[in-house]
């Protein structure tokens, strides 16, 4: 009598995923999730368009008369950056919710590069900002906004808020991951409100008090606004763009390690509960 040996099914080994593929996949998942969140959609698309319309209606002629060029260019750049700032706050709040719900710890167990989660989130922020900026510029066209320096420069004008958003997302992610709740992130709204009213897009530097002018000139928003204006209306580009890149690099270096370590602690902390 022969004995039949049971057949053991050999499942294929799980293959590793490259960091680029992981980042793109994670970014796509985040964008799809954000698209289903009315608050994030309003924050990214509706709120900037409404703010630009209000700025032009209330302050447009006054700012133009100050001699800083057509106000629509400065206001469009200003609002594009405001949309990026408050968009990062919205997604930071969602990141805290993912940490507290245990989603980060579940993702942590997947056989993918863990650094891809940080890279994917930054890529999602960049794409969200790019989409928001394109929509905002289209809304600004009936108000007189034009790409006077050509379409290639216009693409560069869209990239500037993306660079700004990525640099800002790193410290906000770090704060979100090391804080105990949403209140710490939401308190940044006060700082952003100060930045909103004291920059070269809101009014020319010369219109501010002398003691305040250096702060207005060198805060992160001002060079980015000047770069956008230079790439659309015309004017200096290299200096403002280099300053924007310097701010982004500085914030990334200063807070990048904290963001990565905070993500690891958040994921592993929930995983071991």
Closest CA to 145 of 80, 77, 73, 75: 73
pLDDT-derived band at 4, boundaries 50, 70, 90: low
Sequence ranges of the domains in the chain: 19-271
Q: For 157-170, write each residue's pLDDT tens digit.
A: 999 999 999 999 99
Q: For 76-117, write each residue's pLDDT tens digit.
A: 999 999 989 888 887 788 888 888 888 878 877 777 777 788
d(CA 139, CA 49): 7
Beta carbons of 118 and 260 less than 8 angstroms apart: yes
Instruction: Look up residue 68 and give its DSSP letter.
Output: S
């Amino acid at each position: 009598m022969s004995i039949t040996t049971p057949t053991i099914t050999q499942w294929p080994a799980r293959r590793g995923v490259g960091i680029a593929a992981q980042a793109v996949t994670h970014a796509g998942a985040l964008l799809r999730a954000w698209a289903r969140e009315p608050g994030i959609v309003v924050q990214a698309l509706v709120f900037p368009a409404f703010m630009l319309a209000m700025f032009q209606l209330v302050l447009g002629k006054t700012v133009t008369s100050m001699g800083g060029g057509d106000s629509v260019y400065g206001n469009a750049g200003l609002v594009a950056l405001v949309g990026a700032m408050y968009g990062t706050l919205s997604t930071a709040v969602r990141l805290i919710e993912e940490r507290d719900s245990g989603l980060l710890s579940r993702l942590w167990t997947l056989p993918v590069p863990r650094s891809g989660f940080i890279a994917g989130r930054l890529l999602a922020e960049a794409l969200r900002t790019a989409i928001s900026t394109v929509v905002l510029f289209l809304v600004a066209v009936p108000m007189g906004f034009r790409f006077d320096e050509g379409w290639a420069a216009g693409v560069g004008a869209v990239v500037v808020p993306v660079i700004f958003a990525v640099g800002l997302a790193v410290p906000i992610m770090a704060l979100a991951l090391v804080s105990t709740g949403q209140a710490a992130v939401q308190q940044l709204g006060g700082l952003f409100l100060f930045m909103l009213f004291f920059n070269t897009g809101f009014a020319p530097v010369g219109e501010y008090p002398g003691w305040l002018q250096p702060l207005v000139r060198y805060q992160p928003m001002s060079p980015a606004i000047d770069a956008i204006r230079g790439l659309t209306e015309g004017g200096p580009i290299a200096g403002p763009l280099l300053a924007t890149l310097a701010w982004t690099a500085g914030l990334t270096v200063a807070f990048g390690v904290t963001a990565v370590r905070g993500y690891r602690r958040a994921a592993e902390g929930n995983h071991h509960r």
